[in-house]
Amino acid sequence: MATAANLPPAVAEESALGAEKAAAGTAKRNNREGRTKLSAPLTGVLWLIVAIYALPLLWFVLSSFKPGSELFSYPLSMIPREWTFQGFVDAWERVDFARYFLNTATVALVTTVLTVFFSACTGYALAKYNNKGTRLFFVCILATTMLPTEVILNPTFSVIRDLGLYNSLAGIIVPSVLTATGVFMFRQFFLTVPDDLLHSARIDGASELAIFFRIMLPLSKPILFTLAIFSFQWRWNDYIWPLIVLNDPKWYTLQVALRSIVGAENIDWPVLLGASVISILPLVLVFAVFQKYVLNADVSAGLKD
Amino acid sequence: MANPTLSSTVTPGTPGTGAVRSKSQMKRHNRYVIAPLVLIGVNVVLFLVFFVWPGALGLIYSFTDYRGVGKLNFIGLANFQKLFADSTFYAALSRTFLYTVFSVPLVYISSLGIAALLVSKATRGRTAAKVIIFLPWLISPIVVGVIWKWMFGQDFGFVNFVISTLGGSPVPWSSNGNLALMVVIFASAWGGTAFNMLLFIAALKNIPEALLEAAELDGANAWQRFRHVTLPGIAPTSFMVILLSTIHAMKEFAMIQALTNGGPGTENTLIVQYIYKTGFEQSKVGYASAASMVLMVVLLAIALIQLRFNKKKG
């Protein structure tokens, strides 16, 4: 295009794009006509599904703003007739939710930092050092996916007790650091990093660990973020470890506390609704900020083997 | 490097051909062994302490009548004999299979269908739709249970309210065992779609556009294109999703604890809850460990069968 050079860059780019689009348009006209015909019904189906998926959550969140008296009074209405925060306040104060919140945050944050770091180390070693030891450990990690904690509840409890970790937050944190998914995600990533980088660093005289910390770890930033979010979600929402490790209510995490409310003979619904919604909020916040690391991540990377 | 064929992994310390290993080569060799050991060290210890130890302990427990305290008293295969004659164990196991058989296909179809809609260029508002459908991933199994309990409450739930407004009679969602299981299955599909959907979206995007266009030129209709181009193209992902969801369904626990607590009565007690009840609430540790071993064998069998099936197809 002759004129493009004279235009400001943004406009030039736009016009170039336009030309490209027009060219693509003619080439694919047949295709596109077929698609526009289908566009309306397919969009309709998609948004119907969206509505079905959104409804339970929407109904739940809106209900949490209703006063207790309105929750069970027919006819039900989607939008609260009277808005109130009483359920949240009660949950926060009466059920000692602030404490559970702090416990859960501690567990989730500490475990996430440890998981990301040690998964990176292990994943790197499995990807870049090929010897009997690393090959064997790879199979071991694979085996852990076949032996979920749910299958060894009682023996796990015995181990926790014998290690003196019973009834402490450390008892939830330490066993959760090793995750197969995390290790596989990093291994898969480091397999794609060219070995030449490693060789030239070695020729320059860098030590093995320095190569990992100075060159490889910074390279893996995208995976680092993705695993961090995954791990935070796993730990925040974990139920089974806190259930078997914690006995004293003062160490309860949110999930165990919620379960004790919903498992009661007479469920205190206003408190339960408020407490549940509060428990979701931090994850929604994390997701809102870092969503590209989750939605755009090739999550299959770690799970593929 | 002397050996370019081994480019994917570094072969440490390839000894110089013919010559005696020099001191510096030995040193380098050690370096390549010690460095990875340092890197995997912590995870090796965690693996030994939190997988091998309890795994071995579980196997030992299953041959004892251990009740959580005191000495181990070996009773041979008595736990297993009792287990295979225990009707509540069979009930839990068969209910778990029933749950798996329904929930896995439902998760598979919904996540693949939604992924296909989200990749198709014909639909509008794809980004917003993706975010909304992804939201349940953020929600813990316990809260998923609470949400669906709230939706399907027998006397006060939204669903029964809509049904009675439309002139129907309220449905006994929690007092009828099969209906209660149905709600559990819906809830699991709702919670499990998001992550698998992401896997499918990645897989669908990897299918070359050219293949689909070629099929279209050859006169294949949308279904034929899906069946003969798309489906084979995403086979590895399908395999993975089915395997992971099956294992996940077999060990479902938290969500049901909140939603029905295995009710009505003990009708929908699944296997992990059965293990938890016998092992912790009744502290029959030996007996529960025997049930755990059976579950482990079942999980292994499922994985092996699916692996074999996958290989045959490939």
Give the residue-averaged pLDDT of B38-62: 93
In this predicted model, which residue has the larger pLDDT, A297 or A170? A170
pLDDT on residue B71: 87
- Please provide the size of chain A in residues: 305
B237 to chain A: which residues are within 8 Å by CB?
300
pLDDT on residue A274: 92
Cα–Cα distance for residue pair B10/A304, rounded to 1 Å = 22
pLDDT at A29 over 50: no
Q: How many angstroms away from the CA of A8 is the closest CA of chain B?
A: 31
pLDDT at A303 over 70: no
Q: Which residues pair with B74 in a beta bridge?
A: B64
Cα–Cα distance for residue pair B98/A97, rounded to 1 Å = 37
Interface of B with A in 32-51 (CB under 8 A): 32-40, 42-44, 46-47, 49-51
The model's pLDDT over B72-98, given as tens digits with 9 standing for 90+, comes to: 889 989 999 999 999 999 999 999 999
**Which parts of A59-99 are beta strand (E)?**
none
In this predicted model, which residue has the larger pLDDT, A184 or A36? A184
Total Cβ atoms within 10 A of residue B304:
11
Average pLDDT of the residues of chain B: 87
Cα–Cα distance for residue pair B248/B250, rounded to 1 Å = 6
Q: Which amino acid is at A206?
A: A
Q: How sure is the predictor about A255, in pLDDT bands with cuts at 50, 70 and 90? A: very high
Question: Which position has the token pair 């990807």?
Answer: A127
B84 touches chain A (CB under 8 A): no
CA-based nearest residue in chain A for residue B283: A154
CA-based nearest residue in chain A for residue B293: A151
B256 touches chain A (CB under 8 A): no
Cα–Cα distance for residue pair B314/B302, rounded to 1 Å = 18
Contact: A299, B199; criterion CB under 8 Å: yes
pLDDT at B216 over 60: yes
B191 touches chain A (CB under 8 A): no
Among A31-35, B56-60, B127-131, the range scoring the smallest mean pLDDT is A31-35
In this predicted model, which residue has the larger pLDDT, A109 or A149? A109
Collect all residues with Cβ–Cβ distance below 8 Å to A252 and sequence separation of at least 6: A99, A100, A103, A242, A246, A260
The complex's ipTM works out to: 0.85
pLDDT at B44 over 50: yes
pLDDT on residue A186: 93
Structural Rg of chain B based on CA atoms = 26
Cα–Cα distance for residue pair B39/A209, rounded to 1 Å = 8
Q: What percent of chain A has pLDDT over 90?
A: 51
Residue among B43, B279, B295 whose CB faces A118 most closely? B43
Give the residue-averaged pLDDT of A130-158: 88
- Please provide the size of chain B in residues: 314
A91-122 as b/e, with b when 16 or more CB fall inside 10 Å? bbeebebeebbebbbebbbbbbebbbebbbbb
**For residue A30, what are its two tokens?**
């047949």
A31 to chain B: which residues are within 8 Å by CB?
213, 216
How many Å separate Cα B241 from the centre of its chain? 8
pLDDT on residue B253: 93
pLDDT on residue A103: 95
Q: How sure is the predictor about A97, in pLDDT bands with cuts at 50, 70 and 90? A: confident
